[in-house]
Structures are given as C-alpha cells and as structure tokens.
Amino acid sequence: MQFSIRALAPESARTGCLVLGAYKARGTAAPVLTRAAQAADRAARGRLRDVLARGDLSAKAGSTLLLHKVAGLAAERVLLVGLGEQKEFGETAFRDAVRGAASALKSLGARDAVMYFLDFKVGRRPAPWNLRQAVQGMRESFYRFDQLKTQKKAAPPALGAVTLAVHGGPVTLQAQAALREATATADGVDLARTLGNLPPNICTPAYLADEARKLARQYKLGLEVLERRDMERLGMGALLAVTRGSHQPPKLIVLRYAGGVKKAKPMVLVGKGITFDTGGISLKPAGDMDEMKYDMSGAGSVLGALRALAGMKAPVNVIGLIAACENMPGGAASRPGDVVKTLSGQTVEILNTDAEGRLVLCDALAYAARFQPDAVVDIATLTGACVIALGHVATGLFSNDEKLAEQLCAAGDDAWDRVWRMPLWEDYQEQLQSNFADMANIGGRPAGSVTAACFLSRYARKLRWAHLDIAGTAWKSGREKGSTGRPVPLLVRFVLGRAGR
C-alpha cells in the first residue's frame, strides 16, 4: 500500500473512493460535516447533507456509509465515516474512524482512495499526529497473517494507493517527514507482528538470528551472534540455566545501527526472546499454553524498531541486544532450588523455573554495559501480574532514571502506544531475599511485576535504565487472537525524540 500526501479539493479528487468525515449532531439535529466534507457537499448540491439527514450513518465513531456516483464529485464512490460527537472527539475516536474506514475499504473493489483525515482536529494534536495515526492504522487493519494456510481466503482487491489529502493548505515538510516515519514504523510493526504470530517450531532462536541477519544485509547493519560456547566463556550462568532443557541452541544477538554521529553514545534496546515458554520444570498449565510463543515479543519489537529506524535512515545510534532461547522441561533442565552465577557475578537461587525472563535479561543487561550506552531499555513479556495490573491497554514502565521515564511516557502518549509508570521502591526488594544465594528469582504473589523489575534493577545499577513489561500489550487473545506489534511505535518515537526529532 503506497501512501502519499497531496493538497487537493475534495470535489475534484478522481479516485475509486473519497473518504470524508461527519460528526454526530447533538440531539436530533443533522450531523456536522468536517470542512472537507462541507466543500464536497457544496459541489454535490447538498446531497451528502441530505443523505445524512436520513440518519443512516450511526452515531458511533468508525461507522460508515457508502454512496455511489454522487453528481458533482469526480470520485466513483464516497465513503462517509462517522466520528461520533464533536465535543467528545479524541484519540480513540480518531483511531476507530481510521479502522472503520479501513474495514469498509477492504470490502470494496476500490484500488485507490483519497482520505480527508488530516482536518479532523484531535484535541491539541498537530496535523502530523493524524497523519502518522492514519497511516499506521490503515496498515494495521490491512495486515494479514496467512502464510501457513494452504487455502487462502480470496485475496481482497488490492488497495494500492492511498492519498492523504490536505484541504485548504500546503503540504508541509513536517507532513512529509511524518509520512516517512509512519510508513517505516508500520514496516517495523509488521515485522514484530509476524514474528510474534509465527509458531514456536518455526520461530526458534536460530530463526530470530536469521531474521537479524536479513535486516543486517538489507540495511547494512552490524551483526554479531553469540553462541552457547561464547556464553559459557563469558559466564552467563543465568541465561544458560534457562536454555538447558531445550534442544534449540540459544543465541545472543547484537544488531547495530549507526545512523548518528560517531561520538554519540548508543541507545541499547534489550529484548526478551523466549521463543516458547513452557515454564520448564515449574510447568505451566496446558490451557492457552500455545500463546507462550509470543514470549519473544520483546525481541520482535527490538527487530521491528531497528527495521523502522534503519528504514527511515534515522540519525541515531541504536544497538539491539536479544537474548533468545527456549524454556523447556527435560532431563537436563534447571530445577527449582538450583543456584547459578550470573554474568554480573551475583548468584541467584532459581525458586521457579517459570520466572525465566528475568534470568535471560539479567545476563543481557550486564552484557549491555560494555557498549557504554546512553541508556538501556529492555522490553519483555515478563509477568502475568502486569496483565492483571494494567490489562491490555498500557505497557508497564519501570525506571531508575526520572528523565528517561518521562521521555518514555511522552513518547508513548505521542505514538498512542501508551505506558504507565510503576514503582521500583527499595521496599519491594526484600521480597527477593534468599537463604542460599544473593537473591531469589521470585518475590511471591504480591506486586509480581514490581518484584520482577526489582530483580532486573540489580543488574542495571550502573546504567540509565528502563524496563517495559509488555505481557498485556504485545498480544490479543480471543477472536482477534494474535500479535499486536506493540511497542514498536513507542520505541521508534522514543529513540527519535531522544535524538531531538
């Protein structure tokens, strides 16, 4: 799907489908057309207002109504999109409108569309915000994962070209930059989603390393993959303890994108890459265990973010560091009670083999220090407790640096891929006390996502560090079951923002 921006009068848009918005009126009055829709309505001698007055467009944001061959307009079809009440119109309604338009366009034969999404004012958001959300929302809606189905559903006629039209104003350089950012971000989201959706017999640690190799070749990135013997030599006893039960060789993937000035310290993004989490000897229950293939979503988001940043040639230095392995039971697997020595030198009593994410991450965080990073952000489907705390809306944010935390919050709000700060107070640390090692790998039931973060913080003392728990946001269960590609939009915005873009 190709996107472009053009200054264009709606009545003269020669297109398969002209997409216009209308707010619901208060009470019984007729709906309120957006400015572009008003212009089209004038050219069509009031036809749009006339149709809307009949009440066929529901009041819900994202509802749609299709008209054919409207006299006075050059377009073949007009798709009217409901925006809900004007005074309640906000980010969520905007996203619903984009999604509604996308699903209507999907079922049409139109090969191209002209959309007037840029003059729907969303609070104090500037126009480039609409633009990014429109592009990413469209790409999200048109995403399909059917590579493993032999009977493909009849492919919908391709919507090849989408014009984001500007009504009554020039196309700014800012808008062009926002378009490049949005399409590259959507490419990154696609990659993260597909990796999360791929089954665990395909998406293994070696597969993730191959994916990194593909990116390295395509975008000329630096790549290094550490193997089991390298981890042994270094002393990554925690990561090695997790991989013991598996027949899949572990990989520690280092992918470098150097788009910034040479002396600028790199941002290091650390991804949890458990390609399947059975729980190990502390085995998980069978129900929904299949979903634990998405336990590599942190890793997927790191690859996605790097793809996006390299794809838009962002002027930043970023290193992706991925700890990839599988958590399986078996004769060689780690046991509850095992004590291991981590790369940092600290020892850990493994009381639950299902708390494996923090074990692979603690060695990756210790390894990250060697890049002399500007800051380190780890991304992990770390705890079920985070899903209980924040649901599927906000990613959990933990940080030992106020400014870093603020920047991540701001980036999440801007990308509409939001995070919520959680405490990392000293008071929680005592839950990790162990009688047999420096610490235990679990802290009991209370505040499970906090004690997991507290564990990680012990390996990040010398770093400006933040941890994103994406257990609730990287995946959707139920009818729409599948990977979301979050938090790629957040990471991209954050890295760009930190570089002053």
d(CA 98, CA 141): 9
Helix 488-498 and helix 173-197: axis angle, to 10°?
140
DSSP at 108: S
Residue 327, token pair as written in the block: 């958590």
Shortest separation between residue 488's beta carbon and ligand BES, angstroms? 18
Max Cα distance, the chain (Å): 82
d(CA 76, CA 109): 11
Residue 179 touches which member of ligand BES, Mn ion, Zn ion, none, C-beta under 5-8 Å by kind: none
Name which of 112 and 326 has its Cβ closer to ligand BES. 326
Q: Is 272 a catalytic residue?
A: no
Size of the site for Zn ion (CB under 5 A): 4
- Of 182, 434, 115, 459, whose CA–CA distance to 321 is shortest? 459
Shortest separation between residue 387's beta carbon and ligand BES, angstroms? 6
Name which of 100 and 357 has its Cβ closer to Zn ion. 357
Shortest separation between residue 27's beta carbon and Zn ion, angstroms? 52
Span from 69-77, 203-211, 315-323, 354-362 in contact with ligand BES (CB under 6 A): 354-362
Instruction: Give burial (CB, 10 Å; 0-12/13-18/19+) of 446.
Output: exposed
Which of 140, 356, 374, 417 binds ligand BES (CB under 6 A)? It is: 356
Does 277 sit near ligand BES (CB under 6 A)? Answer: yes
Does 357 sit near Zn ion (CB under 5 A)? Answer: yes
Which of 277, 374, 414, 417 binds Mn ion (CB under 5 A)? It is: 277
Which of 40, 159, 471, 495 binds ligand BES (CB under 6 A)? It is: 471
Name which of 63 and 381 has its Cβ closer to ligand BES. 381
Alpha carbon 168 to chain centroid, angstroms: 33
Span from 269-277, 303-311, 372-380, 464-472 in contact with Mn ion (CB under 5 A): 269-277
Span from 157-165, 277-285, 373-381, 425-433 in contact with Mn ion (CB under 5 A): 277-285
Shortest separation between residue 390's beta carbon and Zn ion, angstroms? 17
Span from 48-56, 112-120, 351-359, 454-462 in contact with Mn ion (CB under 5 A): 351-359
Does 354 sit near Mn ion (CB under 5 A)? Answer: yes
d(CA 238, CA 250): 12
Does 383 sit near ligand BES (CB under 6 A)? Answer: yes
Q: Indicate the Cα dihedral angle 338, 235, 380, 389, nearest 10°.
A: 40
Instruction: Give burial (CB, 10 Å; 0-12/13-18/19+) of 329.
Output: middle
The catalytic residue among 272, 293, 307, 358 is: 358
Length of the chain counted residue by residue:
501
The catalytic residue among 228, 284, 341, 421 is: 284
Sheet holding 317-327, edge to edge: 222-226, 251-258, 317-327, 267-277, 375-380, 465-469, 395-399, 419-421
Shortest separation between residue 357's beta carbon and Zn ion, angstroms? 4
Q: For 428, what's the count of Cα atoms within 13 Å in the CB-facing half-sphere?
A: 22
Asked if 495 and 260 touch (Cβ cutoff 8 Å), the reply is no
Name which of 131 and 274 has its Cβ closer to Zn ion. 274
Residue 148, token pair as written in the block: 């493993």
User: In whole angstroms, how far apart are CA 50 and each of 31, 34, 46, 55?
Assistant: 10, 15, 6, 10
Write the binding mask 313 to 352 for Zn ion: x where contact by CB under 5 A, - elsewhere.
----------------------------------------
User: In whole angstroms, how far apart are CA 101 and each of 62, 105, 108, 111?
Assistant: 7, 6, 11, 14
Name which of 194 and 282 has its Cβ closer to Mn ion. 282
d(CA 97, CA 125): 16
Task: Give the CA angle between residues 485, 489, 494 to the nearest 5°.
Answer: 140
Size of the site for Mn ion (CB under 5 A): 3
Which of 381, 395, 457, 484 binds ligand BES (CB under 6 A)? It is: 381
Q: Is 284 a catalytic residue?
A: yes
Pairing of the two strands 439-440 and 347-349:
parallel
Residue 40 touches which member of ligand BES, Mn ion, Zn ion, none, C-beta under 5-8 Å by kind: none
d(CA 223, CA 251): 12
Residue 138, token pair as written in the block: 């469209």
Write the binding mask 422 to 451 for ligand BES: x where contact by CB under 6 A, - elsewhere.
--------------------x-----x---
Shortest separation between residue 472's beta carbon and ligand BES, angstroms? 7
Residue nearest to ligand BES (CB): 384
Q: Where are the beta strands (DSSP E) in 99-182?
A: 112-115, 161-166
Residue 352 touches which member of ligand BES, Mn ion, Zn ion, none, C-beta under 5-8 Å by kind: ligand BES
Mind giving me the DSSP string for 159-175?
Answer: --EEEEEESSSPPPHHH
Pairing of the two strands 347-349 and 375-380:
unpaired
Q: Which of residues 65-124 bind ligand BES (CB under 6 A)?
A: none
DSSP at 464: -
Which of 295, 326, 363, 374 binds Zn ion (CB under 5 A)? It is: 295
Residues engaged in binding Mn ion (CB under 5 A): 277, 354, 356
Active-site positions read 284, 358
Residues engaged in binding Zn ion (CB under 5 A): 274, 277, 295, 357
Residues engaged in binding ligand BES (CB under 6 A): 277, 295, 352, 354-357, 381-385, 387, 442, 448, 471
